[in-house]
Amino acid sequence: MPRSVYFSQRYRPEQNLLEDLLIESMKIMGHDVFYIPRKIVKQDFILNEDVISSFDASFLIEMFVESVDGFEGDGDLMTKFGLETRDQITLVCSRRRWNSLIGRHGYTNDSVRPREGDLIYVPFSGGLFEIKFVEDKSPFFQLGGSGDTKGVIPTFKLTCELFEYSGQEIDTGIPEVDLIQGGHTQGSRVVLDFDGGDVHNLGETLTIELPSGILGEAELLQYEHTTNGSIATFGTLTFNDGEFHTLTVGTELTGQTSGTTSTVTSVIDLNDGDAALFVNDDLTQNSSFDIIGNDYIDFSESNPFGDPS
């Protein structure tokens, strides 16, 4: 016998009521988190992955933490590359709230749901998580279905894993998040010659003009005065042609906030061979391995099996 025609599971006011109750419960029992959209600067269309990406905006939104028993995932693992932390957390957010607070402002084009690769900063744990999977069919049609699933399923379930920094540009306006780039990036370090007495502001974005005329941008992460000149450390370099370039002597820099101009007089290599140089990565051992390796392997021969000529 078919269902009764006097009761409908597609009654839109009931669907709206369920969504209103979920939003209210999130505002009462949820947690405030920062949603950080990923901006793809350059994309590899063959492998379908981002070559260069940045995070330059953040949006405050409330979410449920479904992982009430603690972090999930593989936890802390000791591998041959050191200690790896693979904590996961499951968050639930309202579809309507996400669309009104983030979906219409956090992307250059319309997005119907959160995207994998975006970041979520959870202040109560101090963790920065990357979205690995977005489940947009849970709970599964509690009040029936219709052609418009956006109005039927009121939430997104986000499976997130602890973020591993890999050279992205981070300028979200959240001090705890922005410090990640300054503490982990292997940036460019140069000696600058200023045209006047003013210097660049720490943390400002600089416009780069290479001697070849190519334009780019970089964030000033660190700055110090030494007897050898004014030494500046920059974050990830991005250029308008989408290619990777290094700073060379003669490169002109202009502060977008201060308006100060400077010129690169020399480029400093970031390694652990010179104790006088500042090293961003305390664990770097490239020069040490090079020196020790010379005691075991003779690198002077280009072909250890003989000269084919």
Q: What is the DSSP string of 47-93?
A: TTEEEEEEE---EEEEEEE--TTS-EEEEEEEETTEEEEEEEEEEEE
Assign 132 to helix, strand or coil: strand
| Bridge partners, 31 (sequence order) | 63
Residue 193 identity = D
Residue 250 identity = G
Q: Go through the domains of the chain in sequence order and give each one's CATH number.
A: 12-179 (no CATH), 186-268 (2.40.30)
C-alpha separations of 36 from 14, 77, 94, 126, 247 in Å: 32, 27, 16, 15, 29
How many other C-beta atoms can be found within 10 angstroms of the C-beta atom of residue 264?
A: 21
pLDDT at 34: 93
pLDDT at 33: 92
Helix (H), strand (E) at residue 304:
none
Residue 125 CA to residue 34 CA, distance in Å, equals: 12
Helix (H), strand (E) at residue 31:
strand 31-36
How many other C-beta atoms can be found within 10 angstroms of the C-beta atom of residue 211?
A: 11
The pLDDT tens digits along the chain (309 residues) read 577 766 666 667 777 787 888 888 888 988 899 999 988 776 777 777 776 778 888 899 999 888 777 666 666 666 666 666 678 889 999 888 888 888 777 665 556 788 888 999 998 888 899 999 988 777 776 666 555 555 577 888 999 998 887 777 787 888 888 777 766 665 677 888 776 566 788 878 889 898 888 898 888 877 777 766 678 888 778 788 777 788 888 888 888 888 888 888 888 765 544 444 444 455 566 667 777 777 777 666 666 666 655
pLDDT at 62: 92
pTM of the full predicted structure?
0.64
For 247, the token pair is: 């700073």
Residue 100 CA to residue 116 CA, distance in Å, equals: 19
Please give the biggest Cα pair distance in the chain: 92
Question: For the chain, give me the number of helices (H) and strands (E)?
Answer: 4, 17
